[in-house]
Structure 1
Amino acid sequence: MPQPDTALDLDRFFAAIVKSIWSAYPRLQLVEAFRTDRRNLALPACLIELVELEPTDNPGTEQLAVIAHIEATVIVGFRDIGAKVQVAKLAADIAHHAQGQRWGLPVEAATISAIAPRDFDPDLDQFEVWAVEWRQTIHIGKSIWDDGDPIPSEVLTSQVPNIGVPHAGDYAPVGGI
């Protein structure tokens, strides 16, 4: 039985998130990951950032399993009519969209951890800003099981010196000695 390919490239991960949000919210004028210019923005906008990679349980594949902490910063112009309500509603909508998402990739489902105003970014003083935060477990790197060889389905044992290929007949199922 072949194992699923869970290897993930972070560029592909963020490209999938951006594409999904663009598709779901065509009224957004900008959706971008890791944007450096945060002053000249087409609005409304959604900026995606990686906040942290938190190591988690070893998946048994020699990959690095991490919980990715993602933040989507939702931005509207502060002079827009009803800007405070607009930004809150848009943040809630994006959170609803992100909840449970896998972005078409071999990752665990997203879990929303916060939806709140974000008032502490000097680059965004002239905007109404909310942040949507979520977590997803992802695996970084290639799995040792992705080499195309069959995956062992039975554990066998033998005793020295009767080990190795020349002694294949000397092996017995674990528990059967």
Structure 2
Amino acid sequence: MSELSRLHEAITATIKAAMPQLETVGSYSTVQQDTTLPALFHTITALRPSTDPGDGHSCIVATFEARIAVNVHRPDAALESTALAAQLMVLLRKQYWGIDFVEEASAIQALPQATDLPTAIWVLQWQQVLHLGEAQWLWPNQPPGSLVFAFDPDSGPGKEVDYKAPEDFA
């Protein structure tokens, strides 16, 4: 399973567990006439490079979008859709989706969307940095104790006996 597939499954599972009032939660879909409402659909809408971490991973800023739809014929539909959007914003705070290659959500925003469908829709956007691919270590593994430190003026040729291992500083 690809990293992005794992991420989308984790997002879906987390939202379903945290927001049981949603009848439908999924990814890469649009609200259709036969969608059971209230519904939330999420997707990645943009990718751009981020700062290279120097460990072989590709670091990418992903922009996510979630659409929350509520049937406008329900009592208090506008308030319900607003409350669902606010609840998702709270869920996104410090959210990693339980995945180790994802940094916390940032740049979270929500706006209502005008539509011709009989739904009240809110669109939420957020960004998360993803560390994709495999870590790479281009240097041969070294045995324990091969890393030592010395500080001037106690360094250099003839002073190697005074060098200390990292664990000596603990």
TM-score for the superposition, normalised by structure 1: 0.74
**Letter of the structure 1 residue corresponding to residue 18 of structure 2:** A
Quote how far apart the aligned CAs of 1:118 are.
Answer: 1.8
Residue of structure 1 aligned with 2:119, choices 127, 134, 137: 127
Which of 1 and 2 has higher RCO (CA within 8 Å, sep 6+)? 1
Quote how far apart the aligned CAs of 1:149 are.
Answer: 4.8
Residue of structure 1 aligned with 2:15, choices 14, 21, 35: 21
1:42/1:112 Cα in 2 relative to 1: closer, same or farther (>3 Å)? farther
**Letter of the structure 2 residue corresponding to residue 116 of structure 1:** L
Identity of aligned residues (%): 29
* Structure-2 residue corresponding to 1:108: 103
* Structure-2 residue corresponding to 1:39: 33
1:176/1:17 Cα in 2 relative to 1: closer, same or farther (>3 Å)? farther
The 2-side partners of 1:45 and 1:151 are apart by 55
* Structure-1 residue corresponding to 2:113: 118
Indicate whether 1:60 and 2:54 are aligned: yes
The 2-side partners of 1:57 and 1:151 are apart by 31
Contact 1:43–1:77 (8 Å) recurs in 2: yes
* Structure-2 residue corresponding to 1:50: 44
**Letter of the structure 2 residue corresponding to residue 68 of structure 1:** A
Unaligned runs of 5+ in 1: 1-7, 156-174
1:116-155 matched pairs, under 5 angstroms: 116-119=111-114, 125-145=117-137, 149=141, 154=147
The 1-side partners of 2:109 and 2:143 are apart by 40
Contact 1:95–1:112 (8 Å) recurs in 2: no
1:56-95 matched pairs, under 5 angstroms: 56-95=50-89
RMSD: 2.7
The 1-side partners of 2:30 and 2:49 are apart by 26
**Secondary structure of the equivalent of 2:104?**
coil
1:99/1:176 Cα in 2 relative to 1: closer, same or farther (>3 Å)? same
Contact 1:76–1:129 (8 Å) recurs in 2: yes
Contact 1:145–1:151 (8 Å) recurs in 2: no
**Secondary structure of the equivalent of 2:91?**
helix
Quote how far apart the aligned CAs of 1:113 are.
Answer: 2.5
Contact 1:71–1:131 (8 Å) recurs in 2: yes
Unaligned runs of 5+ in 2: 149-154, 158-170
Quote how far apart the aligned CAs of 1:105 are.
Answer: 0.7
Residues 79-105 of structure 1 deviation map (CA, whole Å, 9 limit, x = unaligned): 111111110111010110111100111
**Letter of the structure 2 residue corresponding to residue 104 of structure 1:** G
Contact 1:34–1:49 (8 Å) recurs in 2: yes
**Letter of the structure 2 residue corresponding to residue 134 of structure 1:** W
